[in-house]
Structure 1
Amino acid sequence: MNLSVPRRAAALSLTAALTLAGFTGASANATPAATLAAPDIPVANVKQHLADLQSIANANGGNRAHGRTGYKASIDFVKAKLDAAGYTTTIQQFTYNGTTGYNLIADWPGGDPNQVLMAGAHLDSVSSGAGINDNGSGSAAILETALAVSRAGLQPTKHLRFGWWGAEELGLVGSKYYVNNLPTTERSKISGYLNFDMIGSPNPGYFVYDDDPAIEQTFKDYFAGLGVPTEIETEGDGRSDHASFKNVGIPVGGLFTGASRVKTSAQVQKWGGTATAFDRCYHSSCDTTANINDTALDRNSDAVAHAIWTLSAGTTTPPPGPVFENTADVSIPDNGAAVTSTVNVTGVTGNAPATLKVGVDIIHTWRGDLVVDLVAPDGSVYNLKPFSSSDSADNVQTTYTVNASSEVANGAWKLRVQDKAAYDTGYINSFKLTF
């Protein structure tokens, strides 16, 4: 966190802010994300990202500061994770103090490009240390939230974008560069920017930015649900990257757990801890992985996900399960006995799903002659296609959905096909099950 930009108070009414931020509701064709529980963000995953950032610092002179090799290695580390998760990533270069800096932008496919919900954190440290709380904590939390979006197959109404900023510690340089180089029309598409800078302080408080009322209330409601009281953030308000967005009229909000200011006795009564600095290692060499409060990191990471799911308004598509396929050709005799193609399912726990997908690819010159069944391992038969003398088209190439929830998943599943009329022939080309 940089401490050089003056505070600017929010001045929007709740109604005006909701309208400007685009948070008045999801489209008629989408399920509001507020009705979908955001996933629990595994704090172990977030801590692993912090351990990786610590290792990067250790291998690069002890820091991850602008213009140093540790910062570029940090950018490359985050980018590789996002690329593998299906994001479209862009590295934006800028120059400051004679050295090259980098921002990383990651866009999740889909969503309304005219309504962009963005979350960001600065990735650089000061030169004196690894910067694990400031600001590995915010960077790791939004990275794991972005990966959770991918795992859930989130399909938000709004377009999701994540940003990791360079040279924040030198005066919000990276985020200013990003915002200043956005055309006015592109700025107007950002319905909200969420900032996360220092969210794992070792003697934590729970602070919420009081900028955009809708975003602020989203965070307050989340912590209220945990029974954790919050306060308005004042120590660093306007002094992190959200200021770059706020100064051009973009609605902003965010979270903070405290820096060098001393926790008051009233705050100790409220949150526990001691009447000392929220982060005694702020901008120091001891800001390492040992300088993190796991409970604060866990709560705030979950709050990040809650805000992304709630404010983006979307639906989830469960990731596909394992696929088992047999591609060996099986001839179907004309007006003859039934033949089968078998797939052996292994390693699936419990029963088959109620939405078992049965992929059928049969090449045949008169498909109406065919009766097609799925035979479960216990011999239960599920008819997929009945005989039809009037269906003169060729081939059966489709996917059926079968409620097979009463069947044990593992075992030999068979596609059984019989030609029940004369003159036409064909073969089973392939058969697959998707769990």
Structure 2
Amino acid sequence: MRTLLPTLAAALVAVGVASAPAAAAPGTLAAPDIPVANVQAHLAQLQSIANANGGNRAHGRSGYRASIDYVQARLDAAGYTTSLQPFTSGGATGWNLIAEWPRGDANDVIMAGGHLDSVTAGPGINDNGSGSAALLEVALTVASQNLDPAKRIRFGWWGAEERGLVGSTFYVNSLPATERAKIKGYVNFDMVGSPNPAYFVYSSSGQPPGSTDLQHVLEAPFAAMGVPTELTSVGGRSDHAAFANAGIPTGGLFTGAEGIKSSAQAQKWGGTAGQAFDRCYHASCDTSSNINVTALDRNSDAIAYAIWTLSTAATPPAGPRFENPTDVAIPDLSTVESPITVTGVPGNAPGDLAVGVDISHTYRGDLVVDVIAPDGSVYNLHNRSGGSADNLVATYTVNASAEVANGTWRLRVRDAARADTGTINGWSLQF
């Protein structure tokens, strides 16, 4: 995963988790359990490759090419159609590996990916050997189970992510518009075995229409495991960004990098408060001993759930999405509003109206956030929770089935205490 720029700092917001396992969507097949020992075996191979090639698997180095060759050989043997896509960055040749399971509708593609390169400082076994290895084992399981999906499944292992998302951006930009349109969703897996793990799901707020569906699919397996998740705004930090910029729905999973685990997160997930999720992030100690096996196991199973669910279920028609991206300042001890006018939606709003909120604030425990329906009904989204954490980036589900959809909806934000200010960066309604 790329180093996080200060302007892209991710805000982490806890979301509720159902107490009972989530049922499979109609028309889907039960996803298999992914043996974590198999994923670990792939990581051992990537560690051996790094050991034999100067200690890393970075772009332009022999360790990266050896990593690509290992993954491609396993996929070719399993019956995938694979291709290497070369590109140039920093005067060196890099490669993307694309693998397609040759079944399902080729005009209706579900894509999953993660970067395979490391930084030059170390072997990159968590970042991002973990996502790469989990994807590989899920892909091999698709083949071993002879899955016959409704949609075409395509996997991507990206090069030069650590140099600025070079490989994935090259791939998306090289696709003709007709080919881009065939990709109905992209899910990204960058760091899924952090040693002091979080369980983050990419927030759909601010992402292309259809991303909310991907977020819910990725949340569901953790709910079934009884593992709470938090939404995170990854911004332009990983390979989903190129797909989002092209208007393709995106989602993903993440167990944390250099961010510090809070006391509340340690209470919820275990691990050590006040310590980085991955203390070996971008360092030489990111080796095969830098992996939390439980997190790797859970995330591998969640990836399989997402692939099985997204590729075998009929795609529900996406409802219309409305947004207001205009910044609204939130002065201290004030109440502000941002409107969205909804038109052309027949009948009432849905029972699962998705309200995406993106607020920058230096103390989100000051904030009371409501969405107000056209008839004046108030639905509270956030009520001064989160303590001293900053920012509020989340998607809330509101039962608005009693409300007429058309009309002016308002996001109301009240700063209820002194000393901190912020900005509504934007918000959205997904019907």
The TM-score with structure 2 as length reference comes to: 0.66
Task: Read off the aligned partner of 1:55 and give its amino acid letter.
Answer: S
SS in 1 for 2:135: helix
Aligned residues: percent identity? 68
**Aligned match for 1:206, one of 191, 199, 203:** 199
Task: Read off the aligned partner of 1:293 and give its amino acid letter.
Answer: N
Residues 1:115 and 2:108 aligned together: yes
Query: Contact 1:116/1:159 (CA < 8 Å) preserved in 2?
Result: yes
Name 1:95's counterpart in structure 2.
88
Residues 1:259 and 2:254 aligned together: no
Name 1:231's counterpart in structure 2.
230
1: CA distance, partners of 2:9 / 2:73: 36
Name 2:376's counterpart in structure 1.
none
Runs of 4+ aligned residues of structure 1 deviating over 4 Å after TM superposition are 4-9
Task: Count how many residue pairs are aligned between Structure 1 and Structure 2.
Answer: 293
Give CA-to-partner distance per residue, 1:128-158, whole Å, 9 cap, x none.
0000000000000000000000011001100
> Which is higher, the Rg of structure 1 or of structure 2?
1
1: CA distance, partners of 2:179 / 2:142: 23
Q: CA deviation at 1:238?
A: 2.8
Residues 1:286 and 2:285 aligned together: yes
Q: CA deviation at 1:7?
A: 5.0
Residues 1:32 and 2:31 aligned together: no
Name 2:334's counterpart in structure 1.
none
Query: Contact 1:4/1:171 (CA < 8 Å) preserved in 2?
Result: no
Q: CA deviation at 1:3?
A: 2.7
Q: CA deviation at 1:32?
A: 1.8
1: CA distance, partners of 2:220 / 2:232: 16
SS in 1 for 2:122: coil
Q: Could you list the runs of 5+ residues in structure 1 that have no partner in the other structure?
A: 10-24, 316-435
**Aligned match for 1:244, one of 242, 258, 267:** 242
**Aligned match for 2:68, one of 49, 52, 75:** 75
Give CA-to-partner distance per residue, 1:215-259, whole Å, 9 cap, x none.
10011111111110000123x443100001001100000000000
2: CA distance, partners of 1:249 / 1:159: 19
SS in 2 for 1:254: strand
Q: CA deviation at 1:4?
A: 5.3
Name 2:170's counterpart in structure 1.
177
**Aligned match for 2:136, one of 133, 138, 143:** 143
Name 2:145's counterpart in structure 1.
152
Task: Read off the aligned partner of 1:240 and give its amino acid letter.
Answer: S
Name 2:17's counterpart in structure 1.
none
Task: Read off the aligned partner of 2:261 and give its amino acid letter.
Answer: K
2: CA distance, partners of 1:51 / 1:57: 10
Name 2:322's counterpart in structure 1.
none
**Aligned match for 2:155, one of 149, 162, 167:** 162
2: CA distance, partners of 1:258 / 1:72: 26
2: CA distance, partners of 1:272 / 1:314: 34
Task: Read off the aligned partner of 1:198 and give its amino acid letter.
Answer: M
Task: Read off the aligned partner of 2:248 and give its amino acid letter.
Answer: I
Q: Alignment RMSD, CA only? A: 1.8
1: CA distance, partners of 2:55 / 2:269: 32
Query: Contact 1:155/1:314 (CA < 8 Å) preserved in 2?
Result: no
Name 1:298's counterpart in structure 2.
297
Q: CA deviation at 1:37?
A: 1.1
Task: Read off the aligned partner of 2:267 and give its amino acid letter.
Answer: Q
Give CA-to-partner distance per residue, 1:147-173, whole Å, 9 cap, x none.
000011001100000000000000000
Task: Read off the aligned partner of 2:3 and give its amino acid letter.
Answer: L
Name 1:271's counterpart in structure 2.
269
Name 1:58's counterpart in structure 2.
51
Name 1:426's counterpart in structure 2.
none
Give CA-to-partner distance per residue, 1:66-108, whole Å, 9 cap, x none.
0000000000000000000000000000001100000000010
Give CA-to-partner distance per residue, 1:242-286, whole Å, 9 cap, x none.
001001100000000000010000101110100110000000000
1: CA distance, partners of 2:266 / 2:75: 38
